[in-house]
Structure formats: structure tokens, C-alpha cells
Amino acid sequence: MKIDGKPYRTIWLANDGWSVEIIDQTLLPHDFAIARLRTVEEAAHAIRAMLVRGAPLIGAAAAYGMALAVRQEQDDQALSRAHDLLLATRPTAINLRWALERMRRRLIELPPSERAAAAYAEAAALCDEDVAINEAIGEHGAGLIRRAATNRGGGTVNILTHCNAGWLATVDWGTALSPIYKAFEEGVDLHVWVDETRPRNQGASLTAWELNHHGVPHTIIADNVGGHLMQHGMVDLCITGTDRTTATGDVCNKIGTYLKALAAHDNGVPFYVALPSPTIDWTLEDGVGEIPIEQRDGAEVSALTGRTADGRIETVTVIPKGSPVANYAFDVTPARLITGLITERGVCAASREGLRTLFSDR
């Protein structure tokens, strides 16, 4: 995507041909800065501290993390150490495990002397595939937005989204936002309700930043507003991303997604989830029972960070001293609440049978 006319991905090989550059997402929306990763430890830190985040981008960063590791040490033990270090960074998004397994499978079969070049090539291929997959998701999902426009019989299509599932969460295009970008480019009259997405505010900080840069009409709302808007006919459809989808179509996404799906169900608002196939965990059947839910530092709940009027970035505490805090980062939306899954191969029902129609080869 373009920022001030310059095309960017979220991760790329630096000009030196071996280190890796990323957009440091912890600084957005206040500052746009590039960070450089030189070691597997720096790659692991970037994922854990969320300089990069979003399921597909976590996978891409882990792939390049393996390349950085193998550049330094090529034996089997080094490969395993890098794999385990990166896998331990975040527990919920399955793209991380998928990317690491893909890298390990590719590298382990090669003699150590060939591993570094192959690792960089595989990481680059994985990133290019992510871009192509997300663009295809955009094309399939744009059809749903066009249909919503036709069903309305004119006027603006209102789409609600949660968290950031835009190009910042992937290598490019995004998942949930990709259909929105495609439909917007086609000239569909649309507007996006952006859930702020506490505690880290990925909606208010990242989704709004993206939409702003691309001129897409949007409004940031507090997390609890969606149900009210749906009751008043102010949402035509919801589209979110997912960090892990079971073989039965249950979806694990940013905390609060489940409540939006319940409100959508109660109000007859279509609720779609956009996902690249590497986000499907074919080994799982029961999302609520089986998907590990990340619990993060309580400081994300107890404090807020922002820019002061005189330009300083400041963090302030917003809770009483001594009150305990819990910080669950994801929740599971059962398949029965989901109207459809938007994948790179088309749109299907959120069910084992639905996924089978598109992925009979898995």
C-alpha cells in the first residue's frame, strides 16, 4: 500500500541484502518509523513486543527470523533453537507455527552450506504468497460489499470492523480490510465503523491510520457502540480477521469479536470473517475448548498512551492503585454466529463442510 505516494509492505529485505526492515507499529499513529532486525533475537522481540503484529505478519516475521538465525549458524541444533525461540513469542495466531514449520521442512533437507540462501528465498516466497492471497481475499470479499450495496438499494454501505486486520496486519492488502480497499477502489459508496479495540487500540491507532491514508471514509467508535448501531440499522455488514480458525469454522480473533458477532446475530446483520488459508488450524475442532488464548501484561488495561498537546508521547494510569487487572487478548466466535468465511479461494460457510468445498486438498 502507498504512504504519501510511496509503496510499502510491512516487512522487507534491507538494501544490505541480509537484514530485515519492518514498520514499527508500536509508534503508530503518532510516528511512522522503520526498525531494522539483524538477529533472530531481534525478530523474536519484534513479534513479542508487537512492533509487528497481526496473524499473517507474525508468520512472515518469524520466517525472516529463521533466515537471520540460519545466516549466523546453519546446523540442525541452531535451526531448532531458532524455531523454538520464535514459536514461544505469541501463542494464539497459528500462522506463526505454520510459517516456522514451513521454514523447518524446507531447510532441514538441505546441507547446512545451502541453508542460508534457501531460508531467505523461502521467507521472500512466503511474503509474496501472503500478498497474492490477501489480494484474492479482497476480490472475493468485494463482491459481498457490492451485494450489500445492491440490497440497500442505494446510499452508503456501512461496514463494522474490529481490531486491525488491514495491510499492517499482513505483508500487504490485509484480510478484513482488503475487500474494503477493493470495493472502495471500484467506487462503491462505503463507510467503515472502526472499533477502537481496547486495550491496545489497534482499531483506533492502526485501522484508522490506514483508512485515513487511503481516503476511506470511516468513524472510530468505542468498543461498546456496535450493538447500538446494529439495533438502529446503521451497520450493513461486519468483517473481521482471525488469528486461528478451526477445521469446523470457529474463529479466534481479537478480544471483543465474539460480542460483535452476538450483536450481529441478534440483529440479522451479516457477520463475515476474512482469512488466508494458513490461518486455518486443521487439527482443531472446538475453538472455545482448544485454542490457547494469549493473556498479556495488565499494564495494557490499566494505562493509556497518547500524544500530549505539546507533542510528547505520554502514558497515564486510568485505574485505582491496587485494583487487579486481567488482560485476555483473544476470544472465540463459534461458527454458528458467522455468516461466511472469505478466503483466497472464495467465500464459504463457516463449517467443516463449507471449508471442505474450497479446501478438499487439505
Catalytic positions: 243
d(CA 19, CA 79): 18
Q: With respect to ligand MRU, which residue has the nearer C-beta, 120 or 173?
A: 173
Please indicate if the annotation marks 224 as binding a ligand.
no
Q: How far apart are the first and last CA of the chain?
A: 31
The residue (of 74 and 257) whose beta carbon lies closer to ligand MRU is 257
343 binds ligand MRU (CB under 6 A): no
Residue from 66, 169, 211, 341 in contact with ligand MRU (CB under 6 A): 169
Q: Convert residues 186-215 into a mask of x (bound to ligand MRU by CB under 6 A) and - (unbound).
A: ----------------x-------------
Which residue's CB is nearer to ligand MRU, number 115 or number 182? 182
What are phi and psi for residue 69, nearest 5 degrees? -65, -50
* 253 known ligand binder: yes
Q: x-or-dash pattern for ligand MRU, window 81-120, by CB under 6 A?
A: ------------x---------------------------
With respect to ligand MRU, which residue has the nearer C-beta, 58 or 183? 58
Say if residue 321 carries a ligand binding annotation: no
List, in order, residues 6 or more apart from 129 with CB less than 8 Å away. none
CB closer to ligand MRU, 288 vs 329: 329
2 is in an annotated binding site: no
Rg (CA), the chain: 20
Minimal CB distance to ligand MRU: which residue? 241
Polymer length in residues for the chain: 362
State the number of binding residues for ligand MRU (CB under 6 A). 17
Instruction: Write the single-letter amino acid at 243.
Output: D
> Do residues 280 and 355 touch, judged by C-beta distance below 8 A?
yes
Is the Cβ–Cβ distance between 157 and 144 less than 8 Å? no
Q: In sequence order, what are the beta bridge partners of 21? A: 12, 36
54 annotated ligand-binding residue: yes
Neighbours of 224 (CB within 10 A): 13
Site string for ligand MRU, 234-273 (x = CB under 6 A): -------xxx---------xx-------------------
Q: Closest approach of Cβ 2 to ligand MRU, in Å? A: 19
Question: For 142-173, b where at least 16 C-beta lie within 10 A, e where not — what string?
Answer: bebbbebbeeeeeeebbbbbbbbbbbbbbbbb
Binding ligand MRU (rule: CB under 6 A), the pick from 74, 175, 205, 207 is: 175
* CB 15, min distance to ligand MRU, A: 28
For 205: left if phi > 0, alpha if psi spans -120 to 50, otherwise beta; the answer is alpha
List the x/- string, 25-64, binding to ligand MRU by CB under 6 A: ----------------------------xxxx--------
Instruction: Give the shortest CB-56-to-ligand MRU separation in angstroms.
Output: 5
**Contact stretch for ligand MRU (CB under 6 A) within 104-112, 168-176, 180-188, 216-224:** 168-176
Residues that bind ligand MRU (CB under 6 A): 53-56, 93, 163, 165, 169-170, 175, 202, 241-243, 253-254, 329
